[in-house]
Structure 1
Amino acid sequence: MSAPALSQSPRRWLALAALTLSVLIVGLDGTVINVALPTIAGELHADSSQLQWIGGGYLLTLSVAMLPVGLLGDRYGHKRLLLSGIALFGLASLGGTLASSPGAVVAARAVLGLGAAAIMPLSMAILPRVFSKEETPKAIAVWTAATALGMPVGPVVGGWLLDHFWWGSVFLFNAPVAVLALAAGLWLLPRDAERSHTAPFDALGTLLGGLGITALVYGTILIPRDGWTGPAVLTSLTAAAVLLIGFVLRERRHPHPIVELRLFADRRFLWGTLIAVFVNFAVMGILFVLPQYLQSVLGHDALGTGLRVLPLIGGLMAAATASESLVPRLGARTVVPLGLSMLAAGVLLGATTDVSDGYGFTALWLSLTGLGFGLAVVPATSLVIGALPTDRAGSGTSLLETVQQLGAVLGVAGLGSLLGYGYLARVHTDGLPAQAADAARDSVSGADAVARQLHDAGLAASAHEAFVHGMNLVLTACGAIAILGAVLAALFLGSTPSGTVAETAPEQAESIA
């Protein structure tokens, strides 16, 4: 089946289901482990450092591997590498269920990160080969919703599994989903075109980029423990800056770079990427503070918390449907700033939350935020994909995903510090024993535990008010970023109404496998 026929076939939506299924399990796995950490600590006797690396190892390998995997996909085939990533993800999940020590869990999570690094950019790179330029924004919206949905739903899935099964079930649930995604991908995704890959691989550039990203992610992982001015943090972040500058200089001069930095000369790619980073920063800030607010302040369980985040996803899908008709008529230069303005309005409305407000107010500003999220991120991502040469689609989407990932890592670290500052400024622990005071000042959940133990309703009320204050600071910062993004988009995005991807070149037309 030719590419034009594929873009008109109902099977394209099944192909999209296969792609979204793969990114959904990545999104779920990124957060599902969090609820299992206390159980793993008890059953495998993991200390705090090992628990930190169960999450950090995944994040590290995901960030480091994402850049070169895009180039490998361009050379050896997007479908081949994507299916390999899904298979690796499934096998690592099985390995995690068999882990009998903290080190084995860390290793399994690191391999899961490698699989995820192939799945995220390459699944995006395949979208314009399956859909026409008119339908690609809708496909991007569904793909984006799947990635966003996985984050808040992960703890729900993890909590349910731990309530009914043993701790290894948080790994095991990935395996059948990976098998299903693998089978669907083999059947439905277009075959890879035969490509020449005789150009040498830039090993030094890969090393510089990998070490630079490693230092950056490692430094941010240490921030919650050591603070921004800790010696290890400063050393890591300084090394990251030096290595990444060296990487950029190397890539600019190398005849066959890992990432094509000249893509940033295209206004669509440059501003589409930056806008996507701004949007991702704001949404990651929301998803960082909101579950804690819903659980610790409003008192919902894991399942209730996950369900109550869904207005964000509903708003995203509604906006994606609207953007499909708005962008061709009004242009990305109008729609993207409009979306960012709505996103800013939503989070700034959320920043007025009072400790006495119920969920109805949260659902209101979440819905508005989701609408802005969809109106901004779908056209911005379409601009990026539209700027990519067909033979460098994997490298381009890898660059986009890497920049977003690193922005999210730094953003969450910064927003986490802001949340902690706001919380500590308001929580009152006077008169508590030293150990209890430390636990209460550590987090709102710690304060709740101490309050229950001591039957101290005043401490709980103080902690809830302090957390809401910190959350409002985070949401205010997210709103400011969204406003900045809206201004930049209005000034610098192209004025043409083409927020969609370019036509697939005839020589790249591929058929269903």
Structure 2
Amino acid sequence: MSIPSGAPAAESHVPEAVHRRRWAILAVLMFSLLIVVLDNSILNVAVKTIASPAPTGIGATQSELEWAINSYTLVFAGLLFTAGLLGDRIGRKKVLLAGILVFGIASGLAALSSTPGELITWRALMGFGAAFVMPATLAVLMNVFERDEQPKAIGIWAGSVGLGIAIGPITGGVLLEHFWWGSIFLVNVPVVIVALIAMAVLVPDSRDPNPGRVDPPGVVLSIVGLVLLVYGIIRGGELADFTDVTVLAPSLGGLVVLAVFVWHEKRSSHPSIDISYFRKPAFSAAVTAIALVFFALMGVTFFSAFYLQSVRGYSALQSGLLILPLAVAQMVFSPRARLVVDRFGTRAVCTLGMLLVAGGLAAFALFDADTPVWVMCAVFFVQGTGMAHIMPPVTVAVMQALPRERAGSGSAINNTFRQVGGALGIAVLGSVLSTVYRGDIEGHLGGVPAAARDVAGESIEATLGVAARMGPEGRPLVTAANDAFISAMHVTALGSAAVALIGAVVVGLFLPGRQRLPDGVRAAPAPEADQALTGGTGKR
């Protein structure tokens, strides 16, 4: 794969004992990553059930549901950078084990929540654990694979995200049909136990051999800045108003703190992150692409669950099965993305991937209450194919720009931009969806009792709940709610597609093209050919 110019040329070799079991280690890392991804994708199909009154759910309001998601996001995003630095310093295996243990305990507590407040609290603790898992998996990967095999390994790692997207909704649907809502969290516990045992046995520890002095001001500034920024983004989405003082104050405050963080890092003799990496157009374009594609996709993922279940009337299990083509495309194409990049270059592949994502998102603007299932499956497959040709190449560009010893920092940067982009997508696009929906439904609430009118206009779930209590008189309101939601979804989908198109422009301008070798120089053998020459060890 093409990598940014100026990437470190010299890399230490992986010990032979570790090299021999590298694929088994990758399987364990994928399993650990799967836990985190699976939990979030399960929650997406369970929001309707959790919103139901006890004993079916816990009667969470729309705002409480958003905070059950956002409390996780806030803690996760705020600690990602610090978790990556800590892994580089004290050892990635230790950080990975601790993170998964905390995640498992918090999952068990979330399953036993009796109030929305308890669920929000335990979800925040899950985010704390996940913040130490996500960067550590990628950092360990970079330290058990040689440089020529890293693109293939990263592609498989990225494909496991697709597997989580597939398994999560389907598993959630099965659990919700047979057990109580808390089972979607309790299922994490046995998975965590297996992961802990496998990691303790197989995964080697690694760290930066020369970490230098600790940078406490940098760590504190990064946490405070990210938490303030993400909170402001979430608050803006909750209010559907980004001009409110409770939105502007934390958002601007977070940006100021992050600016101070950058200023401090540039002048520090022992910085937490070398800011000079961002001067490389390819590196900056890669992390920007990550943020933009997740901005576009996370907003659509949020509203597609309501479209499938509330408007179309599908069960949680059926909704999960409909997303399967997106996951299958990622699982199939992500591990092979390096082959396409080797032939056409990072710029061409990622630009086409962004255009496919934009096209898939724009297609939602054509969906209505009767869109054939096969059309939806085709659109999800196109989105997954686009993602599979974006995430592995840009992740390789980010990770190979940093020396192996700083893999935790590189993984943290990669995941921080993704998480902030996703949070911004849910908040901004969710606000667009909410604003358009409220504007369209207000004219149809004349028959609703005055006391319930404000509540009925908050969301499609609130409107349908009021309509159900009205009996036969509420049927016209159901039709109006579905029409208003579809109209709002169309506007939001076009906004998402526009963001993806901006991403296509960024990668088209700044990512490196195909590397051309000088005359007389042969390309290095592919990893598979190299293994054949060396008896499968990859060593010579």
Question: How does the TM-score come out when normalised to structure 1?
Answer: 0.88
Does the aligned pair in 1 maintain the 2:347–2:507 contact within 8 Å?
yes
Q: How does 1:204-283 map to 2 (within 5 A)?
A: 204-226=217-239, 227-283=241-297
| Structure 2 unaligned blocks of 5 or more | 1-12, 517-523, 528-540
Tell me the residue number matched to 2:492.
Answer: 474
Residue among 363, 366, 373 paired with 1:349 = 363
Which letter does structure 2 place at the counterpart of 1:142?
I
Gap regions ≥5 residues in structure 1: 504-513
Equivalence map 1:1-400=2 (5 Å): 3=14, 9=20, 11-33=21-43, 35=47, 37-38=50-51, 53-97=67-111, 105-150=119-164, 154=168, 156-158=170-172, 160-192=174-206, 195-197=209-211, 199-226=212-239, 227-400=241-414
Change (3 A) 1:414 1:196: same
How far apart in 1 are the matches of 2:97 and 2:353? Answer: 34
Q: Paired residue for 1:508?
A: none
- 1:445 maps to 461
What is the match of residue 446 of structure 2? Answer: 431
Q: Deviations over 1:230-267 (max 9, x none)?
A: 22122222221222221221122112222222221233
Which residue, out of 487, 499, 504, partners 2:505?
487
Contact persistence 2:162–2:331 (CA under 8 A): no
Separation in structure 2 between the aligned mates of residue 247 and residue 193 of structure 1, nearest angstrom: 24
Q: 1:128-170, CA deviations, whole angstroms, 9 ceiling, x for partnerless residues?
A: 3333445433432332233355457545544544554455433
User: Helix, strand or coil for the counterpart of 2:389?
Assistant: helix
Please name the residue that 2:534 is paired with: none
In 1, Cα distance between the equivalents of 2:413 and 2:123? 23
Q: CA deviation at 1:98?
A: 5.7
Relative distance call for 1:497 and 1:426 in structure 2 (3 A) is farther
CA deviations 1:488-509 (Å, max 9, x no partner) are: 22221112449x9xx9xxxxxx
Conservation of the 8 A alpha-carbon contact between 2:302 and 2:426: yes
1:356-411 deviations in whole A, cap 9, x for unaligned?
31222111111111111111222111111111111111011101211211121112
Q: 1:467 to 1:243 in 2, by over 3 A?
A: same
C-alpha separation between the residues in 1 aligned to 2:172 and 2:132?
Answer: 24
CA distance in 2 between counterparts of 1:223 and 1:235 reads: 11
Give the deviation of 1:353 after TM superposition. Answer: 1.9
Preserved contact between residue 333 and residue 497 of structure 1 (Cα < 8 Å): no
Contact 2:90–2:207 at 8 Å: present in 1 too? no
Identical aligned pairs, as a percentage? Answer: 36
Q: Residue 451 of structure 1 aligns to which amino acid in structure 2?
A: A
Between 1:389-398 and 1:449-458, the stretch displaced more is: 449-458
Residues 134 and 343 (structure 1), Cα distance of their counterparts in 2 relative to 1, 3 Å cut:
farther
Conserved in 2, the CA contact under 8 Å of 1:327 and 1:497? no
Instruction: Quickly say closer, same or farther: Cα 1:100–1:383, change in 2 above 3 A.
Output: same
* Partner of residue 457 from structure 1, selected from 463, 466, 475: 475
Comparing 296-305 with 350-359, greater Cα deviation is found at 350-359
Structure 1 pair 8–251 and aligned structure 2 pair: CA distance change class (3 A):
closer
Q: Alpha-carbon deviation of 1:41?
A: 7.3
Amino acid at match of 2:215: D
User: Structure 2 counterpart of 1:203, which letter?
Assistant: P
**In 1, Cα distance between equivalents of 2:19 and 2:498:** 42
Measure the CA separation in 2 of the matches of 1:107 and 1:365.
36
Give distance in 2, aligned partners of 1:247 and 1:272: 21
Offset at residue 52 of structure 1 (A): 5.6
Larger mean Cα displacement after TM superposition, 48-57 or 310-319 = 48-57
CA distance in 2, matches of 1:171, 1:414: 28
Cα shift readout 1:49-72 (whole Å, capped 9, x = no counterpart): 776654433222211211111111
- C-alpha distance 4-328 of structure 1, shift in aligned 2 (>3 A): farther
How far the C-alpha of 1:5 sits from its partner, in A, is 5.0
Deviations 1:26-66 (CA, angstroms, capped at 9, x unpaired): 12333545536436977879888776654433222211211
Q: How far, CA to CA, are the matches of 2:215 and 2:125 in structure 1? A: 23
Number of aligned residue pairs: give it.
497
Q: From the superposition, tell whether residues 369 and 71 of structure 1 become closer, same or farther in structure 2 (CA, over 3 Å).
A: same
CA distance in 1, matches of 2:396, 2:386: 16
Quote the Cα distance in structure 2 between the aligned partners of 1:167 and 1:324.
40
- 2:89–2:207: 8 Å Cα contact kept in structure 1? no
The Cα of 1:474 is off from its aligned counterpart by 1.8
Q: Secondary structure at the match of 2:366?
A: coil
Superposed CA deviations along residues 173-220 of structure 1, whole A, max 9, x for unmatched, are: 2111111111222222234267244x3322222222212222222223
- Report the residue type matching 1:429 in the other structure: H
Q: 1:152 touches 1:291 (CA, 8 Å); kept in 2? A: no
Q: Which TM-score applies when normalising by structure 2?
A: 0.83
- Larger mean Cα displacement after TM superposition, 343-352 or 115-124: 343-352
